[in-house]
Amino acid sequence: MPVKHPSSSKFRILLMSIMTVLFVGIMTSLPASALELGGGYTIRTYASPDPDSVNSHFIETPGGVIVISAQRTFSEANRAIARVERIGKPVIAIVIPVPHTDHFGGLTRWKDAWPDADILAAEATITSMRTDGEGYIASRKDALRDDFPSQAEVLAALPNIVVTDGQEIDVDGLSMRFHDLPSNNAPTNTMVELPDHDVLFASEVVEDGITLFLKDADLDVWLDQLDALEADLADYRVFYPAHGSPGAPGPLIAAAKAHLEFYRDGIDAALADDGIVDERETADLVARIEAAYPDHAQVARLLRSDLIAANIGWQTERRSAE
Ligand SMILES: [Zn+2]
């Protein structure tokens, strides 16, 4: 029989469970190492604790700080803000790179601390924040209560600058080139390139080391995006992903491609004989993905297998419709 797709209520329970696990997570974080770019520009990263760690990147400029990603919760935003306050300069711009709550749930706190900061995002991200069409904001609010904004608070801190694919914006003398790419780990992902410094903030387009979220992904489109990055930016100095450690582009891109190909090839192989991915085939592929990526443990093991199974279901539906 065809694989069952998770109902929205089951998915909501899954998300709430993930958030609960997050809440009781061990309080650890990656060390914040600084990368001096010269000319008065320095990059630092704050990573919230595992499981389900999310990065905020800080670009110190001569006159301020540019923040990429605002954290998931008020408490994590407060920790990230404390790191920025040590720099001793005001936040002048905040980029929201992904229309998922782990990247804007804490935005209210940043806005409280620096009301004059510009907030930049793609149109699709702003629309998602404004309408909560997927119900993500509502479900996170249920789970996180006072540590997460209401929809009204999200509306009060919406981005004020829309960025588009290919656009270049100068912030305090720093040239930032935006790349808005659809159908990957989210409906859209906004990457920020610093072309004068050979640095890319790769958002969730280039990442390994976490369990993927393939609800909105087109694996072929996403793999094409990675091929284009490999062709264009493989000689860059460093990529900073939205989750996980920064690193050299080559290995990060290779790992991201291998992860997607594992899903794609497994699903296509299961579809090849009879056009369906049955329960046994799904269970087999979940087990193989978990065995191949034992370190992808930011969410509890049972929940991770549920998410992988959901990924297979979403992608089976998409690929069998092609
Ligand atoms: Zn994320």
pLDDT digits over 105-159, tens only?
A: 999 999 999 999 999 999 999 999 999 999 999 999 999 999 999 999 999 999 9
Contacts of 31 (CB under 8 A, 6+ apart): none
Sheet holding 174-182, edge to edge: 168-171, 174-182, 188-194, 199-203, 238-241
Torsion region of 91: left, alpha or beta (phi above 0 gives left; psi -120 to 50 gives alpha): beta
> 137 alpha carbon to ligand 1 midpoint, in Å?
14
> 100 alpha carbon to ligand 1 midpoint, in Å?
6
> 101 alpha carbon to ligand 1 midpoint, in Å?
8
> 280 alpha carbon to ligand 1 midpoint, in Å?
30
Q: Compute the 3-state secondary structure of the chain and give helix, strand, coil in percent, each to the nearest 5.
A: 45, 20, 35
Its sign, for the CA torsion 87, 88, 93, 96, is positive
Give the per-residue pLDDT at 19: 46
Map residue 163 onto helix, strand or coil. strand
What's the token pair of residue 302?
């049972």
> 159 alpha carbon to ligand 1 midpoint, in Å?
18
> 99 alpha carbon to ligand 1 midpoint, in Å?
9
> 172 alpha carbon to ligand 1 midpoint, in Å?
27
The Cα angle at residue 248 between residues 247 and 252, in degrees rounded to 5: 75
> 183 alpha carbon to ligand 1 midpoint, in Å?
14
> 4 alpha carbon to ligand 1 midpoint, in Å?
26
> 168 alpha carbon to ligand 1 midpoint, in Å?
24
> 47 alpha carbon to ligand 1 midpoint, in Å?
12
Give the per-residue pLDDT at 322: 76
* Interatomic CA distance for residues 314 and 322, integer angstroms: 13
For the chain, list the domains and their CATH numbers: 8-321 (3.60.15.10)
From the CB of residue 83, how many other CB atoms can be counted at a distance below 10 Å? 16
Give the per-residue pLDDT at 298: 57
> 69 alpha carbon to ligand 1 midpoint, in Å?
9
Per-residue pLDDT 10s for the chain (322 aa) are 444 444 444 444 444 444 444 433 333 333 458 999 999 999 999 999 988 899 999 999 999 999 999 999 999 999 999 999 999 999 999 999 999 999 999 999 999 999 999 999 999 999 999 999 999 999 999 999 999 999 999 999 999 999 999 999 999 999 999 999 999 999 999 999 999 999 999 999 998 788 899 999 999 999 999 999 999 999 999 999 999 999 999 999 999 999 999 999 999 999 998 999 999 999 999 999 999 998 885 553 447 889 999 999 999 999 998 7
What's the token pair of residue 303?
């929940």
